[in-house]
Each structure stands twice: as structure tokens, then as C-alpha cells.
């Protein structure tokens, strides 16, 4: 189902006209209202009057997370605080959190975008939406909640945690749509199996999962274990929250970016130079409808590529490939660039390996080491030592052949890796301790 045909099926010519008008408006506004943006634009030698075509966006300076932190908490807001009806913030695990604000209209826009995203996944009025994204400063829970209400569905606002109770509610309430992180979906699936519940007897038809990178193999694992269609959703608090783009259930081949609200670019993460459609690089967004906290050419650090190929669903927006990793998640092991999702892809392709793992990075002398602790099924773990040793060697060889690095594999018994009620901690880098 297409939620808003007026915009979601626009011709490229009509869409670009809308984008240019909105881009010119937001650039004018931030230049006038935010001294920091004005100084950056002056330093780059660009004025709002210089934005006459969409390609002129390349004249504008990038915005980074460091810019947001330098203006903590409210320095990049374009409206007075009495017009801000809500704030959200990142976790701030690497310093001060990034703080974002919303006007009443921003909240309405966000709800509209999340309704579109849920419709992409096949949700509709009458659905029971089990919302297990975290409520609070994290944007996921409330963003999804308002979108489901806008769609006309019934929302079950369970947030994260208390997994067995969540499963009971799924059964009793007849949940049809599941919203959570991919890692928590696996946690739910594991508990469902332990409780002796047949997932086919649940009413779940689709899960819309996001907030962390996940491989195609993990997607297939979730679909198999929960007996539903798994759909990828993308967003980040600095740009809006969830609802920036979403995969459609008809195509399942990339996430439709809601381009009437966000202008996407792909750039080389090292040089900052623009890349073309189909080329892999860092994703950059300019928000063109946000009131309280617009961002200009925000560098997300997420790695993906864009596609302009037609989609079976009829939406005409460009699509982005599922995020393969983040530039700040990249591990450099003895000169080789490695993303956790690449190792996950190998692990999930091995029969008997469970979708629970953790990467331990350390340094011995001058050399970096990488170890993957991976759960295996009870049957495999109870095998003879030599069987486990051979399986470890096979996985190590697969990783070496694919990625060119040495990764020690430690097979561990079920339930050894800590379960997540939100975003999973996949990497422990002891070099930074």
C-alpha cells in the first residue's frame, strides 16, 4: 500500500522542483537564524542566493556530529525554545549526546513519514503494532508510535525488555506487526522457541527492523525463526529519527528514501567528493522540511549506495542499499579494513552457528588481534573437541579467504553471549581501554 500517492509517485522532474524550492527555503532560514551555519557558509564563500539549482547543494559545507556537539545542547535550533515541543538525544556514549528538537509541525511530519514507512511494510488500519523500540530520549519508540497511530493501526507500546511478558502480549493481543531492532527480534525468537511456542501460531505477518546494521543472512534467519517478512527501516536522530527511508514488502530490494523531505547524496568518505548513482560511499542528508532542527549536508558515516531503478511497488523515490557498516564502526586489523557485518555474513552462512556473536579486538605487542566468540547449537557444542576444532578452522578459513584477515574463532555454548533489548554490542575493542 502506498500511503501518500501525491508525493511517493511523483515524476523525477516534479520531485526535483519540490526539492529545490524547499532547499532554497531551508538554506535561507538556517543562514538567517543560526550564527554557526552562517559562519560556515561565509567561510565557504556561499550565500543562500547562490542556490539556484539542485546541483548547487555541492557549494554548501558539510555538517558533522562534531558540529552538533560544539553547539550542544540547542545552538543549532532555528526556532525559539517556546516553539520546541519535544527534544530527543543520542546515547552520548562517546561524549556529549547530540540533541535534536521538534516543533509541533515537525512531530506531525515525522508521524506522516513513519506512517509511510509502515505502509511500505504492508501495515494498515486494523493491524496490531507491537512496538518494542525503546521509549525515551531514543527516537525509535515515540517515532514509531506516532506513525502507527497516524496510519490508523492499534499500538501496543511495550518498549524494550521483559521479553517473556512481551511474548505473552503478542499471543493475547494478536500482534500482527513487530517493531524492534534486529538483535532484539532474535532474542524474541529464541525465547519463543524456549517457551515451546510455534511461531506459525502467532499472528505476526511482518517485522520492521532497524537502528543497527544487519546482514541479509541475519534477515533470513529472523524470517525463518519468527515466520514473518522482515523489512529494513532506516533513520537517525540527527536527520529525523526512524522514517527517513524504508524497504517495501513488494520489492524487498533497497529502502525508498522519502526525497520530498530529505535530499540524499553519496560521497567519498575520505575526500568528501560526490559519487554517482550506484557507487558505494558515505550517505549524506539535507533535511528540507524540518523546522526546529534542520541539518545541511549531514555526514551520517553510514556506507551505502543509491539506485534509481524502477520498483515493483510504484514508488518513484531513489532507493538506498541496506547499510553495510559505518565508517566509525570500521575495524583496521593489521592494515585491513573490516566491518562487523562482513564477519556476520560469513558466520550466518555456517550451518549450526547461532546468530549471536561478539568480536574482541586486542593488541599483543605491536600487532592487532581479532577473535570472534560465536554461539553454536547445543548439538554441535556437545560434539567431540576435534569436531569443534575443525569447524573453527573452517570458519577461520572462510573469513581469511573472503576478507584477507586472520580471525580466531571461539565456539561457545548457547546463551553465552549477552542478549540485547536494544542495539547489540557486537564489538569490544580493548585497544581503546
Q: What is the CATH number of the domain that holds 17?
A: 3.40.50.12780
CA 281/CA 279 separation, integer angstroms: 7
- Summarize the confidence of residues 372-396 as an average pLDDT: 88
Q: Are residues 259 and 345 in the same domain?
A: no
- Considering 291, 324, 357, which residue would you say is the last residue of a domain? 324
Distance between CA atoms of residues 140 and 81, nearest Å? 23
Q: Are strands 281-287 and 262-267 parallel, antiparallel or unpaired?
A: antiparallel
Tracing cell 509541533 back to the chain, one arrives at 104
**Domain span holding position 187:** 1-324
Asked whether 45 and 85 are in contact (CB, 8 A), the reply is no
CATH number at residue 394: 3.30.300.30
The three-state secondary structure class of 308 is coil
| Structure confidence by residue, pLDDT tens digits, 257-312 | 999 999 999 999 999 999 999 999 999 999 999 999 999 999 999 999 999 999 99
CA proximity to 207, closest of 177, 233, 252: 177
pLDDT on residue 335: 74
* Contacts for 92 with CB less than 8 Å, ≥ 6 apart: 98
* β-pair partners for 389: none
Of 324, 357, 376, which residue is a domain's last? 324
Q: Answer yes or no: do 247 and 363 share one domain.
A: no
pLDDT at 114 exceeding the cut of 60: yes
Are 299 and 387 part of one and the same domain? Answer: no
**285 with 335, same domain?**
no
pLDDT range class, residue 95, cuts 50, 70, 90: low
Q: Kindly state whether residues 289 and 392 are assigned to the same domain.
A: no
Domain-terminating residue out of 293, 324, 355: 324
Q: Which residues are within 8 A (CB) of 66 and not within 5 positions of it... i.e. 6 or more apart?
A: none
Does residue 100 or residue 355 have the better pLDDT?
100
CB of 41 closer than 8 Å to CB of 47: yes
DSSP 322: P
Q: Assess whether 136 and 38 both reside in one domain.
A: yes
pLDDT of residue 92 exceeding 80: no
Q: Which residue has the cell 556506507?
A: 303
Give dist(CA 166, CA 156) in Å, integer.
Answer: 10
Residues 254 and 117 in one domain: yes
Q: 188 and 102 in one domain? A: yes
Residue 135 main-chain phi, psi, to 5 deg: -90, 150
Indicate the angle between helix axes 182-194 and 216-226, nearest 10 degrees.
30
Residues 342 and 264 in one domain: no
Same domain? 347 vs 316: no
- CA–CA separation, 211 and 143 (whole Å): 12
CB burial of residue 238 (10 Å; 0-12, 13-18, 19+): buried
> Looking at the structure, do residues 304 and 395 belong to the same domain, yes or no?
no
pTM of the model as a whole: 0.86
Give yes or no: residues 355 and 422 share one domain.
yes
Name the 3-class secondary structure at 187: helix
Q: Into how many domains does the chain fold?
A: 2
Q: What is the pLDDT of residues 159-210, one digit of tens each?
A: 988 999 999 999 999 999 999 999 999 999 999 999 999 999 999 999 999 9
Kindly report the average pLDDT of the chain as a whole number.
Answer: 93
Tell me how far CA of residue 412 lies from CA of 354, 355, 419, in angstroms. 10, 12, 14
Amino acid at each position: 500500500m502506498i500511503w501518500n500517492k501525491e508525493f511517493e509517485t511523483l515524476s523525477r522532474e516534479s520531485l526535483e522542483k519540490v526539492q529545490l524550492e524547499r532547499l532554497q527555503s531551508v538554506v535561507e532560514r538556517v543562514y538567517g537564524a543560526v550564527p554557526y551555519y552562517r559562519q560556515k557558509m561565509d567561510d565557504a564563500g556561499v550565500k543562500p542566493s547562490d542556490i539556484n539549482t539542485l546541483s548547487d547543494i555541492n557549494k554548501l559545507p558539510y555538517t558533522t556530529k562534531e558540529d552538533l556537539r560544539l553547539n550542544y545542547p540547542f545552538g543549532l535550533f532555528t526556532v525559539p525554545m517556546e516553539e520546541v515541543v519535544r527534544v530527543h538525544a543520542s546515547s552520548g556514549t562517546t561524549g556529549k549526546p547530540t540533541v535534536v528538537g521538534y516543533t509541533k509541525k515537525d512531530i506531525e511530519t515525522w508521524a506522516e513519514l513513519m506512517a509511510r514507512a509502515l505502509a511500505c511494510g504492508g501495515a494498515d488500519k486494523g493491524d496490531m503494532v507491537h512496538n518494542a523500540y525503546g521509549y525515551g530520549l531514543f527516537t525509535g519508540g515515540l517515532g514509531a508510535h506516532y506513525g502507527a497511530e497516524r496510519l490508523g493501526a492499534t499500538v501496543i507500546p511495550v518498549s524494550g525488555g521483559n521479553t517473556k511478558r512481551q511474548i505473552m502480549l503478542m499471543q493475547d493481543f494478536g500482534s500482527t506487526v513487530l517493531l524492534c531492532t534486529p538483535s532484539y527480534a532474535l532474542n524474541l525468537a529464541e525465547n519463543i522457541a524456549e517457551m515451546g511456542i510455534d511461531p506459525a501460531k502467532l499472528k505476526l505477518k511482518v517485522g520492521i527492523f532497524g537502528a543497527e546494521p544487519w546482514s541479509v543472512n541475519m534477515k533470513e534467519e529472523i524470517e525463518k525463526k519468527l515466520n514473518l517478512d522482515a523489512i529494513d527501516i532506516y533513520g537517525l536522530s540527527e536527520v529525523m529519527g526512524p522514517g527517513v527511508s524504508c524497504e517495501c514488502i513488494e520489492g524487498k530490494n533497497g529502502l525508498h528514501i522519502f526525497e520530498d523531505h530529505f535530499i540524499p547524496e553519496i560521497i567519498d568518505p575520505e575526500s568528501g567528493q560526490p559519487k554517482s548513482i550506484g557507487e558505494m560511499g558515505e550517505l549524506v542528508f539535507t533535511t528540507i522540511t524540518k523546522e526546529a532542527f534542520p541539518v545541511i549536508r549531514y555526514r551520517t558515516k553510514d556506507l551505502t549506495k543509491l539506485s534509481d531503478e524502477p520498483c515493483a511497488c510504484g514508488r518513484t523515490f531513489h532507493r538506498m542499499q541496506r547499510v553495510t557498516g559505518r565508517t566509525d564502526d570500521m575495524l583496521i586489523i593489521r592494515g585491513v579494513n573490516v566491518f562487523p557485518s562482513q564477519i556476520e555474513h560469513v558466520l550466518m552462512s555456517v550451518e549450526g552457528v547461532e546468530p549471536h556473536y561478539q568480536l574482541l579486538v586486542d593488541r599483543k605487542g605491536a600487532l592487532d588481534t581479532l577473535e570472534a566468540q560465536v554461539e553454536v547449537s547445543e548439538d554441535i557444542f556437545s560434539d567431540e573437541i576435534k569436531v569443534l576444532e575443525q569447524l573453527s578452522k573452517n570458519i577461520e578459513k572462510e573469513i581469511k579467504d573472503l576478507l584477507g584477515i586472520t580471525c580466531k574463532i571461539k565456539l561457545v555454548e548457547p546463551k553465552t553471549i549477552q542478549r540485547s533489548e536494544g542495539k547489540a554490542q557486537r564489538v569490544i575493542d580493548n585497544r581503546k581501554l
